[in-house]
Chains A and B, each alone.
Chain A
């Protein structure tokens, strides 16, 4: 019985195995052949969801024009980390799209290669954008859009652009007293703060993040957080906080700040080009001006961020990736088309001029960012965000600025090697 079972199993197993092997050996090469015949090489691009949607048609057009397959894939969460991990193991994409402040980390992991742009290609971009993607003297990405925050105001409630933050608070308080609005200012903070959005106020108060070296690069050894200037800046911010004027509140978060503005509950919103679509949809009459600084303070400087295309160092099709990034992304037509998919100021001067006429908001945003600071791309910047934001939230909530910001400075310094 037992032996018979074994015998039958063996025979049937072999038969099945044989058929399985026949099947697999027949269809596999065929599949490979057809894949080769249908396309040239394959270019894989990773981006976040919004940009994936915007990029897809143009990437596919590039593929069609050149007889290659282009796949744009969205990684919804942790795109940067996953890109680094995947490319180190060899299953990453050929091109990745992301903010320029990733560059430091991508370079230290050998995940991206420098790109070579001809002099006339380089000069077609606005200077800030090129500066942002330059790291250690090399150009690491091709920028396509810049972005910065500005003050968006509901002109029905506040017809005049405030010159200083004090003006803004006065107008906001009056609106609140008249029951025309419930909040003075919509500047998102949340329980754990938001360094990006509060940065203009911090700079206006005199604070800085990193000093610069002789050649203009950010110097991680000169940390501004925790220095007397930063304490002074946060003392001013504290006055706007919950225990002061009540203009800055932890209850205003990234999720509700735009909604509160479009719901006409606050007259002023500090946000970027991404908020405009909602304002239009809600039929708000708005205007855009630079984020005002403190009276008698320094200029309020927002961060300027740049979105760029990078060539993966370990991509399977690097030649094609270079071709796409250096010769296709640098065309104004693409920049205009990407702008139409998602309205951010194009980094190519020609494209910017082309769309400027039809979109007055664009010029206003770029005016607001004219004196902005390029977001530092050095890896040390990663250590700033979290402690800085939490210190901001604590101070808005009424904590002692000196003690809080000194603690944050210590934490950051401890994390920077």
Chain B
């Protein structure tokens, strides 16, 4: 396909197209011609690499301070790699790909890999942290005030510097008004004459101690929480900054039996490492569990649980229909309008374009909610305007049509814009040439415009398909997957795999991340296969010019 070029760069038409060895384009002549540009290039390169070094050093200090040597090593390797890459004449494609790819790895690839790895665990509400976390949670949630013990007024004090000296609790017994000082060793009574006590019981000053005010005490929160003053009945603990109580952890972890013991009832719960819970002999589980590897259990559940695998196929078919429908309809409508407005004789195209992109400019979640209300059976505009009584979201097919219509409204401005941009990029001479040859507009469109549009847009159509395949908001904010068959509230007529997953993962007893990740991997595998196949087909179009 030969074209008459109308490019804006006269530089391109420079004479003397002598063949040059590829890879080493700098012959002495051209090097001189482009000398000033190379200098600019050099300056830019120096400044950018300097910036990289500066950022690297800024990033390095906190890493060194925190003694995170692995992080530092990665940083050094990355920086060195960048310097090498931009100083060597080789690896040209990598130079262009690296800036975006680094960010991609940090903020997309890593999260995806992390998420995928949770598919092999029981990661869920109640099984989020480590075993130590669970033990701490069990113990601290079992702390009870010792029956009949007093509520003390508390002041935080120190013998040393208010910001760093070891802390002491000054507590006042509410009945006797006797003041004692407590630290990790225990309680020592203080001489009543050496302290002054406020009416509420709080010690305001004590000889030999500096009483910390709220502001000073609040920055040492962790030390205050950790300070436990042993007493005969249990231990004195702070409750905020102005009260203390005598409390006792009823449940404690015993390393010997790897179990939790309840000192009141004598019941024990033994750790079950396969399940990540403490289980009693009678089968009772403590609610606080921990995350453990469960191998392929989540995957096998997806395949064997009839609740999950049963409606999978039907949902998959609709999911494809939805993604293809959303992409196809928006593309057709967007392209049609772009073509209609693409004419040198059209006046007011600017105004049309502004008005047409408005649906895309409005926050989509807001407009989804508006559309949901417009499809309301009794109050909705759609029924009122056309005098219909359709129960839009109550019947499977009308609900499907409705969500596609909403998708069309939301998405076609995007396709319109892209198609407009694509049409502008097609050299006008091409279409005019065919018209002059006497081809009908339709033939001219089919022969010239459409193929070029498809070259430009087919990668985008695949991307749009992929996006809509997982378009959770489009469904969740309109039908929520409904309507549902009366006897099965887990899978509705407009459910996509993603909304279905979302419901399974978060609708049940708390969030089940491991399970959701496993289903996601299945979905991912399906979409990846489909995309890879359709991507293969684009190879031909890609090579139109080469």
Contact = CB atoms under 8 A, between A and B. Distances in A.
B224 interface: yes
B141 A386 contact: no
B57 interface: yes
A399 B87 CA distance: 72
A133 interface: no
A116 B248 CA distance: 12
Contacts of A390: 482, 484, 489
Contacts of A322: 238-241
Quick one: which of B214, B377, B483 has the most chain A CB within 10 A?
A: B214
A264 to B, nearest CB: 14
A138 interface: yes
B50 interface: yes
Interface in A180-218: 191-192
Contacts of A323: 214, 240-242
Given A114-B141, A138-B144, A320-B221, A17 B50 contact: yes
Contacts of A16: 47, 50-51, 53-54
Contacts, number: 249
A230 to B, nearest CB: 14
Contacts of B255: none
Interface in A101-116: 104-105, 107-110, 113-116
A138 B145 CA distance: 10
B509 A13 contact: no
Interface in A395-417: 395, 397, 399-400, 403-404, 406-408, 411, 414-417
B58 A21 contact: yes
Interface stretch (A124-132, A251-259, A365-373): A251-259
Contacts of B142: 138
B214 A66 contact: yes
Interface stretch (B113-121, B122-130, B446-454, B523-531): B122-130
B79 to A, nearest CB: 10
A415 to B, nearest CB: 4
Interface string B247-258: 100000000000
B215 A40 contact: yes
B25 to A, nearest CB: 14
Given A105-B125, A110-B133, A118-B243, A20 B54 contact: yes
Contact of A17 (B53, B145, B483): B53
Contacts of B239: 115-116, 322, 326
B217 interface: yes
Quick one: which of B51, B482, B489, B508 has the most chain A CB within 10 A?
A: B489
A84 interface: yes
A9 B140 contact: no
A414 B142 CA distance: 30
Contacts of B336: none
Contact of B57 (A17, A116, A316): A17
A192 B482 contact: yes
B394 A397 contact: yes
Contact of A9 (B87, B213, B289, B393): B87
Interface in B216-233: 216-222, 224-225
Contacts of A380: 509
Interface string B89-123: 10000000000000000000000000000000000
A15 interface: yes
A145 interface: no
Interface in A307-323: 313, 316-320, 322-323
Interface string A11-30: 01111110111001100000
B440 to A, nearest CB: 49
A54 interface: no
Contacts of A107: 137, 141, 287-288
A17 B257 CA distance: 56
A24 to B, nearest CB: 5
A173 interface: no
A313 B243 contact: no
B364 to A, nearest CB: 15
Given A107-B141, A116-B245, A251-B377, A394 B484 contact: yes
Given A110-B133, A399-B486, A407-B487, A41 B218 contact: yes
A8 interface: yes
B287 A379 contact: yes
A109 B126 contact: yes
A138 B507 CA distance: 27
Given A9-B46, A16-B51, A253 B376 contact: yes
A67 B489 contact: no
Contacts of B288: 107-110
Quick one: which of B128, B145, B247 has the most chain A CB within 10 A?
A: B128
Nearest to A320: B218
A393 B54 CA distance: 61
Given A16-B51, A66-B214, A8 B141 contact: no
Contact of B61 (A21, A39, A116, A408): A21
B509 A251 contact: no
Contacts of A8: 42, 46
Contacts of A6: 87
A153 interface: no
Contacts of B483: 191
Given A320-B218, A327-B240, 15 more contacts: A24-B57, A40-B216, A40-B217, A81-B511, A84-B511, A138-B141, A326-B239, A379-B125, A380-B509, A391-B486, A404-B486, A407-B486, A407-B487, A415-B509, A416-B509
Interface of A: 2, 5-6, 8-9, 12-17, 19-21, 24-25, 36, 39-41, 43, 66-68, 81, 84-85, 88, 104-105, 107-110, 113-116, 118, 136, 138, 191-192, 249-253, 255-256, 260, 313, 316-320, 322-327, 379-380, 382-383, 386-387, 390-391, 393-395, 397, 399-400, 403-404, 406-408, 411, 414-417
7 contacts: A17-B57, A105-B126, A109-B510, A260-B379, A379-B126, A386-B489, A395-B486
Sort A-B residue pairs by CB-CB distance and give the 8 closest, nearest first: A110-B137, A40-B215, A41-B218, A323-B240, A407-B487, A20-B54, A67-B215, A16-B50
